[in-house]
Structure 1
Amino acid sequence: MTEEKQLQCPMNLLMNSIGGKWKISLLWALKETKRFNELQKLFGGITQTMLTKQLRELERDGFVHREVYKQVPPKVEYSLTDMGADFLPILYNMNDWGAKHFEELKNKR
């Protein structure tokens, strides 16, 4: 399937937007506004480069807002846009499903 056809399917377009190792976790973490360093500490295994890349992609796709405060040192905060907040019920459902099946999934790994 060509990329153009994939982008015509709502599910494929969504998966292209939120796919990746960190994006779902970042959206979950951004239920509350956070600074870059807070996110980096929260996700100890992510490099600064990867965190920046994932946040920029989420910003590009309209899920995340980046607010830059003009001060010294610079302050940058990330929060969910209205579209990102609209996705939260799906994340809560995923969390509930994961909690329900946690032991079963853990035992299969």
Structure 2
Amino acid sequence: MKTRDELPECPVATTVQLIGNKWKLLIIRNLLQRPWRFNELQRSLDGISQKVLTDSLRSMEQDGIVTRTVYAEVPPRVEYALSELGKSMRPILDSMQAWGEAYKIRIRSEQNGFHDGTMEDGGANPPAER
């Protein structure tokens, strides 16, 4: 885990520092479903390189977000799962999913000429300028 001195003053900046890239967010999304093996994760994340996945998992493990369990089998099996701290990010990803769905609906309706300037999720978007 990072020390207090390594973290930004701003809580939003802290969150972004810990999970603020595309791959980390998508890894967390998958791990919210269940534990995954490395190769499963890599296959499920179209375009991620082995190095980026390895670096992301190591970083999140060091930050206490992901756990790595090695099973003494032949061949050895390793699974990655979210720690309790990682699981506490569910509301963040749920909100991102809801906002993304509302955004897609808004874009589709604007492309079809039907939009009133508000988001369908009840306020995820600021009101249009007057």
> Greater RCO between the two (CA within 8 Å, min separation 6)?
1
Q: SS state of the match for residue 22, structure 2? A: coil
Q: What is the TM-score when the length of structure 2 is the normalising length?
A: 0.72
One-letter amino acid matched to 2:22 = K
1:8 match: secondary structure: coil
| Alpha-carbon RMSD | 2.1
Matched residue of 2:8: which SS? helix
| Whole-Å separation in 2 of the counterparts to 1:5 and 1:52 | 22
Which structure has the greater CA radius of gyration? 2
Aligned-residue sequence identity (percent) comes to: 40
1:13 matched residue in structure 2 = 14
- TM-score normalised per structure 1: 0.85
- Measured in 2, the distance between the counterparts of 1:6 and 1:62 equals 14
Letter in 1 for 2:16: M
State how many pairs are aligned. 104
Taking a change above 3 Å as real, the CA distance of residues 82 and 99 of structure 1, as seen in their structure-2 partners, is same
Q: Give the CA deviation at 1:97.
A: 0.7
Give the SS at the match of 1:7. Answer: coil
Segments of 5+ residues of structure 2 without an aligned counterpart are 112-130
Report the CA distance between 1:92 and its aligned residue: 0.6
Runs of 4+ residues over 6 Å off in structure 1: none
Q: Which has the higher helix share?
A: 1
Quote the residue 1:98 is aligned against.
Answer: 100
Shift of the alpha carbon at 1:21?
Answer: 2.6
The separation in 2 between residues aligned to 1:6 and 1:48, in whole angstroms, is 27
User: 19, 33, 36: which one pairs with 1:34?
Assistant: 36
